[in-house]
Structure 1
Amino acid sequence: MPPENATEIADNLIIEADNPHHQTLATFGWESFFARQISLDALSHTPPVRVVAVHRSGLEVVGVEIDALIPPRADATVGDWLLLDPARAHASRLLTRKSLIKRRAAGTDRQVQLIAANIDTVFIVTSCNQDFNLARLERYVALAFEAGITPVIVLTKADLAVDVASWLAAASGISERVPVVALDARGDEPRQVLSPWCQPGQTVAFLGSSGVGKSTLTNALIGTDAITTQAIREDDAKGRHTTTRRALHRIPGGCLVLDTPGMRELQLTDAAAGIAETFEDLEALAAQCRFADCQHDGEPGCAVRAAIDGERLDPARLRRWHKLIAEDRFNSASLAERRSKDRAFGKMVRKTMKDIKARR
Structure 2
Amino acid sequence: MPSSASSLLFPSSSNPLSPYGWDAGWDAEFAPYAQQGLVPGRVVRVDRGQCDVVTPDGTVRVDTEFVVPRDPMKVVCTGDWVAVDPEGGDPRYARAVLPRRTAFVRSTSSKRSEGQVLATNIDHIVICVSLAVDLDLGRLERFIALAWSSTGGEALLHKSADAWESGAQPVVVLTKADLVPDPVTRGHLVADVESAAPGVPVLPVSATEGEGTEVLAAVVAGGTSVLLGQSGAGKSTLANALLGADVMTVQAARDVDGKGRHTTTTRNLLVLPGGGVLIDTPGLRGVGLWDAESGVGQVFAEIEKLAADCRFQDCAHEAEPGCAVLAALDDGALSERRLHSYRKLLRENRRIVAKTDARMRSELRREWRVKQAQGRAAMEAKRGRRH
Common topology (TM > 0.5): yes
Which moves more between the two structures, 299-308 or 20-29? 20-29
- Paired residue for 2:203, among 163, 167, 181? 181
Amino acid at match of 1:134: L
Distance 1:21 1:39 in 2: 21
Amino acid at match of 1:37: E
1:307–1:331 CA distance, 2 compared to 1 (3 A): same
Are 1:137 and 2:140 matched, yes or no? Answer: yes
- Paired residue for 1:312, among 323, 326, 333? 333
Give the aligned partner of residue 150 of structure 1: 169
Distance 1:217 1:291 in 2: 48
SS state of the match for residue 269, structure 1? coil
State the Cα deviation string for residues 90-114 of structure 1 (Å, max 9, x = none).
4622111111111111223242111
Are 1:53 and 2:52 matched, yes or no? Answer: no
Give the aligned partner of residue 192 of structure 2: 170
Amino acid at match of 1:34: W
Give the structure-1-normalised TM-score.
0.83
Distance 2:345 2:132 in 1: 24
Q: Which has the higher contact order (CA 8 A, sep 6+)?
A: 2
State the Cα deviation string for residues 1-44 of structure 1 (Å, max 9, x = none).
xxxxxxxxxxxxxxxx8666544422111123323323366356
- Quote the offset at 1:208 in angstroms: 0.5
Distance 1:333 1:243 in 2: 34
SS state of the match for residue 36, structure 1? helix
- Quote the offset at 1:191 in angstroms: 3.4
The number of equivalent residue pairs is 320
State the Cα deviation string for residues 145-198 of structure 1 (Å, max 9, x = none).
112121111001111114111110110002331010102122533531202322
- Paired residue for 1:266, among 287, 291, 316? 287
Amino acid at match of 2:147: A
Aligned counterparts, 1:276-295, within 5 A: 276-295=297-316
- 8 Å contact kept, 1:83–1:92: yes
Give the aligned partner of residue 159 of structure 1: 178
Are 1:63 and 2:84 matched, yes or no? Answer: no
The sequence identity of aligned pairs, in percent, is: 38
State the Cα deviation string for residues 244-291 of structure 1 (Å, max 9, x = none).
111111121221111111111111121111111111111111111111
Give the structure-2-normalised TM-score.
0.77
- 8 Å contact kept, 2:145–2:298: yes
Amino acid at match of 1:33: G
Give the aligned partner of residue 157 of structure 2: none
Give the aligned partner of residue 102 of structure 1: 105
CA RMSD in angstroms comes to 2.1
State the Cα deviation string for residues 210-254 of structure 1 (Å, max 9, x = none).
111100000001111121111111111112211111111112122
- 8 Å contact kept, 1:269–1:329: no
Amino acid at match of 2:76: A
Give the aligned partner of residue 9 of structure 1: none
1:236–1:177 CA distance, 2 compared to 1 (3 A): same
Amino acid at match of 1:151: P
Give the aligned partner of residue 257 of structure 1: 278
Give the aligned partner of residue 349 of structure 2: 328
Distance 2:27 2:10 in 1: 26
1:26–1:269 CA distance, 2 compared to 1 (3 A): same
Unaligned ranges ≥5, structure 2: 1-8, 151-165, 359-387
Unaligned ranges ≥5, structure 1: 1-16, 338-360
Which moves more between the two structures, 26-35 or 60-69? 26-35
Give the aligned partner of residue 222 of structure 1: 243
State the Cα deviation string for residues 310-359 of structure 1 (Å, max 9, x = none).
2111111111111111111111222457xxxxxxxxxxxxxxxxxxxxxx
SS state of the match for residue 39, structure 1? helix
